[in-house]
Amino acid sequence: MVRQWNVNRIGQQLAKHWKLVIIGILIAIYPFIDSFLQQISNYAVGGYTGSLVTVLMYAMLALGLNIVVGYAGLLDLGYAAFFAIGAYAMTLLTTPHPPWGVGFPFPINYFWIAMLLAAMIAMISGVVLGSPTIPLRGDYLAIVTLGFGEIVPVLFRNLTCVTIPFLNINCLDLTAGERGVSLIALPTIPGIGTFNKIDLAPWYWLALLIILAAIFFNRRLEDSRLGRAWMAMREDEEAAASMGVDIVRTKLLAFAMGAAFSGFAGAYFASYIQAVFPSSFDFTVSVTVLCAVVLGGSGNPYGAILGGVMVAGIDRIGLTLLTGAAHNLGQFIPFLSGVDFNLWRYGLYGLALAIVMLVRPEGLIPSQARAREFHEGEELEDISGIAAAEETLQREGEAG
């Protein structure tokens, strides 16, 4: 049924969620707030737009991994592999100075096509790397993906002299190894201009746009036939298979979709950083994104965003702010004046992970269905499922 777009109804919804609307507007105009802060504080505060772009990138990655881990329940410890593939695809497709010499002859405004191509290449590699893992489950799957996550950066590091005798290719440098590749296409909007590395606000808005699109996809997938198949598979693979869910197809689609998101983020990252190195895609990235998804609440796109923003935001902005605060307090407590919390990064991060998991094993804002599963034993009085049924009815009433 086609949904009726009723202006009155939209107005009501906006009024009902006015807090969210205000937060949304604040997020959208943040670059202006940032420059305003910088001006009134004489550049003591502000200048976080660049860090926020990185934070948003982690949110993008978390949204992608949310499909694999959150919806389909496939524990992926090598998600950085697809991020790397997307970034390298973007780089090698658009740089005028690829390691092998002459770049591909493409028009200036090539960024968007390359981004789609990068996502597609990542998606294909998701299927390729996903296919051997089809019969595996749980921790075995996690270990194989971890293996792939370790192998892919090694490939990018070492494919500097490829010789294929049959094709008459002799010592072709594919990836430039540890030296990395730079000069990557910048996003261009026809009639407006090209992005640059001085004004970071357009990057910020582009990241926000990608995230909005990713949320939209996540939500649509969640309610789709495929999304329901993922969740059925997550809960019980045998039961799902016997109910007619094609496990192979469903699993591969989860890997492919997750990888495509990651490839998107990788392409964006490559263009934003303007240089790629194999060391940017190690296990830490995979673990950070996984922590973001689980911390925020597995299976809930908003949870994934919250987790990504927290995990990366604390690292990029939080620790610096905390150090500044400690130094200010150092006037009263001499002990604090020499503290640099950036050096405490690992300890604080680890502590935060452990505490969140011990206090809320289901994550900060889990999806409602998952939250119930996590507290199964505690809801013994609700054997008949009356409360759950009521809740569903109520939600349906609201939606329809």
Partner 1 sequence: MKPKLTFRTVAMWLILAATALFLVNAFLSDPALFIQQVINGLAQGAIFALVALGYTMVYGIIELINFAHGDVYMVGAFIGLTIASLLGASEKSDSTHSIITLALMFITAPVICATLNVTIERLAYRPLRNAPRIAALITAIGMSFMLEQVGLWWAGIPSDVLSYFGGSAATPKAFPALIPKINLLANTGININLAPKQVFALAMAIPLMIALRLFVQRTRLGKAMRSTAQNRDAARLMGINIDGVISLTFLLGGALAGVGGVAGGLYFEGVQWNMGFDMGLKAFTAAVLGGIGNITGAMLGGFFIGLVSALSDQYLAGQWTRAVVFGLLVLVLVFKPTGLLGTGVQQKA
Question: Which residues, in sequence order, are bridge partners of residue 172?
Answer: 162
Matching residue, tokens 């926000």: 208
Residue list 79-108, contact with partner 1 (CB under 8 A)? none
Residue 350 beta carbon to partner 1: minimum distance, rounded to whole angstroms: 3
Is residue 148 within the footprint of partner 1 (CB under 8 A)?
A: yes
Is residue 295 within the footprint of partner 1 (CB under 8 A)?
A: yes
- Cα(253)–Cα(72) distance, integer angstroms: 10
Residue 243 beta carbon to partner 1: minimum distance, rounded to whole angstroms: 16
Q: State which residue, 11 or 361, has the beta carbon closest to partner 1.
A: 361
Is residue 132 within the footprint of partner 1 (CB under 8 A)?
A: yes
Q: Which of 113, 174, 275, 287 binds partner 1 (CB under 8 A)?
A: 287
Amino acid at 267: A
Residue 161 beta carbon to partner 1: minimum distance, rounded to whole angstroms: 11
Is residue 217 within the footprint of partner 1 (CB under 8 A)?
A: no
- 289: how many CB neighbours lie within 10 A of its CB? 31
Give burial (CB, 10 Å; 0-12/13-18/19+) of 307: buried
Total residues at interface with partner 1 (CB under 8 A)? 51
Residue 251: CA count within 13 A, CB half-sphere:
23
* Distances 385 to 100, 187, 381, 382, 391 between C-alpha atoms, Å: 63, 51, 9, 5, 10
What the block records as the tokens of 302 is 């908003």
- Cα(19)–Cα(206) distance, integer angstroms: 24
Is residue 147 within the footprint of partner 1 (CB under 8 A)?
A: yes
What the block records as the tokens of 375 is 């507290």
Q: State which residue, 20 or 333, has the beta carbon closest to partner 1.
A: 333
Question: Which residues, in sequence order, are bridge partners of residue 182?
Answer: 275
- Cα(83)–Cα(270) distance, integer angstroms: 10
Q: Which of 55, 59, 257, 291 binds partner 1 (CB under 8 A)?
A: 291
Residue 112 beta carbon to partner 1: minimum distance, rounded to whole angstroms: 33
Residue 303 beta carbon to partner 1: minimum distance, rounded to whole angstroms: 13
Residue 78 beta carbon to partner 1: minimum distance, rounded to whole angstroms: 9
Amino acid at 374: F
Contact 270, 88 (CB under 8 A): yes
Using CB under 8 A as the criterion, what x/- string covers residues 322-361 for binding partner 1?
----------------xxx--xxxxx-xxxxxx--xx--x
Residue list 3-32, contact with partner 1 (CB under 8 A)? none
Is residue 193 within the footprint of partner 1 (CB under 8 A)?
A: no
Give backbone dihedrals phi and psi of 341, rounded to 5 degrees, phi first: -65, -20
What does the binding site for partner 1 look like in residue numbers (CB under 8 A)?
A: 69, 75, 132-133, 135-140, 142-144, 146-148, 150-151, 154-155, 157-158, 236-237, 283, 287, 290-291, 294-295, 298, 338-340, 343-347, 349-354, 357-358, 361-362, 374, 377
